[in-house]
Amino acid sequence: MKRVAWIAVALLAMGAVALAANPVKITFWTHEDPNRTPLEEEYIRRFEALYPQVKIERVTYPSAKIAEVLLTAFAAGQGPDMFNLEINDAYPYLVMGRVAPLRPEWVGYPNVDTILGAYLEGTLDPVYRDGQLYGLPLELTIWSVFVNKKYFREVGLDPDTDYPRTWEQMMEVSEKLVIREGEIIKRRGFDFRYPYYLEELLPMVEQLGGAFLSEDGQTAIINDEAWLQVLRYLQQWGPLGKNLGSPTYKAARSLFNFDRNEVTMCSSGFYQIARIRNDNPAFYESGEWMVIPYPVFENAVRDMAAHYYGHYYMVNAQSSRETQEWTWRFIAYMLSNPEEYLTKAGLIQPRKDLLASDVYAAQPFGDVFAADMARSSMVQLHVANPEFKQLLDDAVKAVMLQGVTPEDALATLRRRANEVLAEYK
Amino acid sequence: MLSCEGDELRKNAHTRGICERRGRWGWAFVLPSLVFFGLFSIYPVLNALYLSFFQKHLLSTAPPKFIGLGNYVYLFHSPAFWNSLRATAIFTGGAFSLLVGLSLILAVFITSRRKFQRFLQLAFFSPAVVSTVVAAAIWLLIFDPRGIANQLVNTIAGTPGVDHNWLAAPAMLQLSTILVYVWKYVGYFTIIFITGIGSIPRSLFEAARVDGASVWQTFWKITFPLLKPTTLLVSVMAMIQCLRTFSTQYFFSQAGSPRAPIDVITLNVYYTAIRNFQIGRASALSLILFAIMLLLSWLQFRLARSEEVSYL
């Protein structure tokens, strides 16, 4: 925490020198997060009070919309000065040279290595390129499994001992927990987060020794047997199989908090805890929920949890140099409050000092997330990730909803993924 | 009255002068809309045509690479493109025929009422003013496995607990998008037909009644033939509207439905440009859609011209 205080003081000193500078307007686009908004609006107010020549306009967009709004803005040369996106969507901006590097001296660090050293190893890799940093993490997210203990007991299971450790057990337990009226599911045991295949589906394939890309990145879809096992599993999961869940039902994560007998388990990140507290304080206080590790297949060859991903604040390379500098200073100012982000918004900045702090240690189930992170890795990054995600979505829905065989779905996925790869060679 | 056409114009220099002055004013009044049309309709088409010959990543600041007809060649060899054509044809075929047929039936029904004409017009037109986002949200709730659609069909058919997979099974998903579209736009085309029916001289209906024509005969011998210009207008507008469909398919695919059965050309354009960053290829795709629209509209005009009817 000493370093955080030192950075804040350095920022103040640097700002005082710049008081006579020209007015700077910073446009800041971010996704909607009701827990983060009041926090960042307060940081803006304080920063503007410290540096009256700086005006910051914070604009929020729904999570599902911000990627395309930002893309069209950048394509038209009208992007905001700063933004954050899930790294899968942000990575093409970095590769295409649309974001500006951070100069360590702007944010009170002597060099890039010192910044890298302040964060957990590997967590800045996605934004580190040619010796420069192009982003600072707002949050790093790994998904574990949230469980409603009440429904376990309702079907005669002990949540503390009978929780699923393998995907096979997950299916078995979900069959006991599901409530249907004919074919229509009233309560799901567990359900996947369908659009997030790189984070949740790919680790399942990797547990079995498969991969999306070869090590040299030249070939897509490695180890057919691993892929087929996962696609068959999902086919069994869907309405054409055991009918335990489907992409067309409302996202399990958004129903979990309300404890309305609609869903028993869902995948989510640490931020879900703050959302349970906000959405349903009685359920939050009840002690009727818990977090368990991400399961593995019984025949897994690797112990792999869900891939973690990050949201990084980035700065538009088309903004003026002065605006870039002030924007980085503002980002560093906001991020110098990691404990507040953790306790008020449920967001984990992967800083070593935060993760070693008592504040983090006191967070419920922080140990489960930390253990899952230890047996995981950052989500695979490629400039074509948005397209790969779409291809995975097509394959999963083909087997779950359209009656396509896993073999045919895999053949289509392989052909299309390799076509995309060929275009980027 | 002064005529600015034909012999008089050629013979009389004074008349020609007045006509030229009038013509200049005419241009002055038309110019703003021409500029607007040129800027927001013609320029984007020309720009898309230009871009369709280039390979360009939407985020790249590098200049686009000229590839000639490469984007078109790629598309014609792409299974996804042919799937989009098929999805567009299925949607347009279903929605177009329902829209034109149903709006004509509704228009005749409403104009034959002595009471509640205004109310019925308003009731059928109201979905057209609902925003597409709201309409999609309403229908997603209706088509949810636990929604009204399953309950209604199961109550009528006596099949409790059956999930009709409105948002999941390919055929049902196509039907769902058609239903949403027809619900949203049928009132709009009904109003156009009502206006068309209103412009048919009352004397023709009165004469038919005096001659003892049945309601059925009156419709087929008077209303329907004299509505031909309106039917042409509605069918061209409905056809273009159906080919341009996007929002319903977009929101359904965002809500978890499989994309392939409803991957109409416009949705494919969106994914190609926004998700895959291939703006040149997306431009080629949109140009192909433009050509299809032109061709179908031309065909409709040709067919309609050969059967013109007038009782006056």
Q: Are residues B29 and B100 in the same domain?
A: no
Domain borders along chain A are: 2-139+309-362, 144-307+384-424
Is B61 among the domain residues? no
Residue at which a domain ends, from B17, B33, B51: B51
Residue A171: is its pLDDT beyond 80? yes
A74–B145 CB contact, under 8 Å: no
Residues on chain A touching B261 (C-beta within 8 angstroms):
402
Q: Which of A15-19, A211-215, A315-319, B151-155 has the lowest mean pLDDT?
A: A15-19
pLDDT at position B35 is 94
Q: Are residues B44 and B192 in the same domain?
A: no
Q: Are residues B25 and B158 in the same domain?
A: no
A239 interfaces chain B, CB cutoff of 8 Å: yes
The minimal CB distance from B145 to the residues A74, A249, A394 is found for: A249
What is the ipTM score, two decimals?
Answer: 0.84
Residues on chain B touching A249 (C-beta within 8 angstroms):
144-145, 256
Residue A98: is its pLDDT beyond 80? yes
pLDDT at position B171 is 95
A250 interfaces chain B, CB cutoff of 8 Å: yes
Q: Are residues B38 and B92 in the same domain?
A: no
A239–B279 CB contact, under 8 Å: no
pLDDT at position A325 is 96
Q: Are residues B203 and B285 in the same domain?
A: yes
pLDDT at position A380 is 87
Residues on chain B touching A68 (C-beta within 8 angstroms):
274
Residue A94 distance to chain B (closest CA, Å): 10
The minimal CB distance from A183 to the residues B60, B161, B276 is found for: B161
Mean pLDDT calculated for residue range A143-165:
97
pLDDT at position B2 is 57
Q: Are residues B165 and B233 in the same domain?
A: yes
Same fold, A2-139+309-362 and A144-307+384-424: yes
Is B176 among the domain residues? yes
Residues on chain B touching A178 (C-beta within 8 angstroms):
none
Mean pLDDT calculated for residue range A244-267:
95
Q: How many CB pairs under 8 A join A and B?
A: 93
CATH at B91: 1.10.3720.10
pLDDT at position B114 is 80
Secondary structure, 3-state, chain A: CHHHHHHHHHHHHHHHHHHHCCCEEEEEEEECCCCCHHHHHHHHHHHHHHCCCEEEEEEEECHHHHHHHHHHHHHCCCCCCEEEEEHHHHHHHHHCCCECCECHHHHCCCCHHHHHHHECCCCCHHHEECCEECCEEEEEECCEEEEEHHHHHHCCCCHHHHCCCEHHHHHHHHHHHCEEECCEEEEEEEECCCCCHHHHHHHHHHHCCCEEECCCCCCEEECHHHHHHHHHHHHHHCCCCCCCCCCCCCCHHHHHCCCCCCEEEEEECCHHHHHHHHHCHHHHHHCCEEEECCCECCCCCCCCCCCEEEEEEEEECCCCHHHHHHHHHHHHHHHCCHHHHHHHHCCCCCEHHHHCCHHHHCCCCHHHHHHHHHCCCECCCCCCHHHHHHHHHHHHHHHHHCCCCHHHHHHHHHHHHHHHHHHHC
A302 interfaces chain B, CB cutoff of 8 Å: no
Give chain B's domain count: 2
Residues on chain B touching A250 (C-beta within 8 angstroms):
144
For residue range B126-182, what is the model confidence (pLDDT) as tens digits? Answer: 898 888 888 888 999 999 998 999 999 999 999 999 999 999 999 999 999 999 999
The minimal CB distance from B163 to the residues A92, A183, A394 is found for: A183
Q: Are residues B26 and B141 in the same domain?
A: no
A408 interfaces chain B, CB cutoff of 8 Å: no
Residue A13: is its pLDDT beyond 80? no
A184–B163 CB contact, under 8 Å: yes
Give CA–CA dist A141/A11, Å, rounded: 28
The boundaries of the domain holding residue B87 are: 77-305
Is CATH 3.40.190.10 correct for A144-307+384-424? yes
Q: Are residues B172 and B28 in the same domain?
A: no
Is B299 among the domain residues? yes
pLDDT at position A241 is 96
Residues on chain A touching B162 (C-beta within 8 angstroms):
182-183
Residue type, A55: K
State in words which class domain A2-139+309-362 has: alpha beta
Is B70 among the domain residues? no
Q: Are residues B37 and B93 in the same domain?
A: no
Q: Are residues B100 and B191 in the same domain?
A: yes
Residue of A74, A78, A88, A184 to mutate, testing the B interface (most B Cβ within 10 Å of its Cβ): A184
Mean pLDDT calculated for residue range A20-46:
91
Mean pLDDT calculated for residue range A203-220:
95
Residue B140 distance to chain A (closest CA, Å): 9
A248–B162 CB contact, under 8 Å: no
pLDDT at position A3 is 55
For residue range B78-136, what is the model confidence (pLDDT) as tens digits? Answer: 999 999 999 999 999 999 999 999 999 999 999 988 888 888 888 888 898 888 888 88
Q: Are residues B135 and B270 in the same domain?
A: yes
